[in-house]
């Protein structure tokens, strides 16, 4: 989801009060960052922030952390949502470095419209590949819970297989999320898909 460079990107990021600039310093102590013992939910690839910002408003007793690899995308999220929420923090980082930042602290991981990496040679880059599931093992606290949404059927099928092979069981699987009774907070991209009547695939897996 690369976008044209935001000219004032650095200004928005430098002045964002809820952006954690040195997240590795808080490894194992994220409850101190939030000032409470509430559960911590993580969105990997938060994009422009629609999903996580709304979730933080709906669930003030849950702490949310959003990570985004691309600083230009993250800056657009900050520009769109400049108001700080007490239960929301964001980080500019690659998911491959999650173990450097968290240590058995995460209750739920959200994967919303992740890059499908469709080619066989790039399948290990998928956020539901065994490579990433091993990383998640180190940051989960207690029961592991992954919630995923995607419009890409091949990625969805691959994820079902990968998660199942890794020991996850499915609490919920749906091939048409927006015509179901599952509570759903939409991302920016998802709104475009819904407008085009593109079906959204959804799963909730636990281990």
Which residues are designated catalytic? 115
Answer for the pair 93, 23: CB distance below 8 angstroms, yes or no: yes
Distance CA 200, CA 57 (A): 23
Return d(Cα 47, Cα 72) in angstroms, integer: 10
Give the span between the Cα atoms of 43 and 129, in whole angstroms.
Answer: 16
For β-strands 201-206 and 169-174, DSSP reports them as antiparallel
First to last CA, the chain: 30
CA dihedral 28, 33, 38, 44 (to 10 degrees): -70
Q: How far, in Å, CA of 57 to CA of 41, rounded? A: 13
């Amino acid at each position: 989801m690369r976008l044209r460079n935001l000219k004032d990107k650095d200004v928005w990021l430098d002045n964002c009060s809820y952006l954690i600039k040195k997240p590795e310093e808080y490894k194992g102590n994220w409850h101190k960052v939030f000032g409470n013992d509430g559960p911590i939910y993580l969105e990997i690839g938060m994009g422009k922030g629609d999903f996580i910002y709304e979730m933080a408003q709906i669930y003030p007793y849950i702490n949310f952390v959003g990570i985004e690899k691309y600083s230009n995308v993250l800056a657009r999220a900050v520009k769109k949502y400049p108001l700080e929420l007490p239960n929301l923090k964001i980080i500019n980082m690659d998911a491959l470095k999650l173990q450097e930042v968290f240590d058995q602290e995460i209750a739920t991981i959200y994967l919303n419209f992740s890059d499908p990496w469709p080619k066989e040679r790039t399948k290990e880059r998928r956020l539901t590949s065994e490579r990433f599931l091993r990383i998640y093992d180190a940051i989960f606290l207690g029961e592991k819970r992954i919630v995923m949404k995607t419009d890409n059927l091949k990625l969805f099928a691959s994820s079902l297989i990968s998660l199942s092979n890794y020991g996850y069981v499915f609490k919920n699987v749906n091939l048409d999320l927006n015509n179901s009774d599952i509570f759903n907070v939409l991302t920016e991209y998802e709104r475009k898909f819904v407008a085009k009547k593109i079906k959204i695939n959804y799963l909730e897996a636990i281990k």
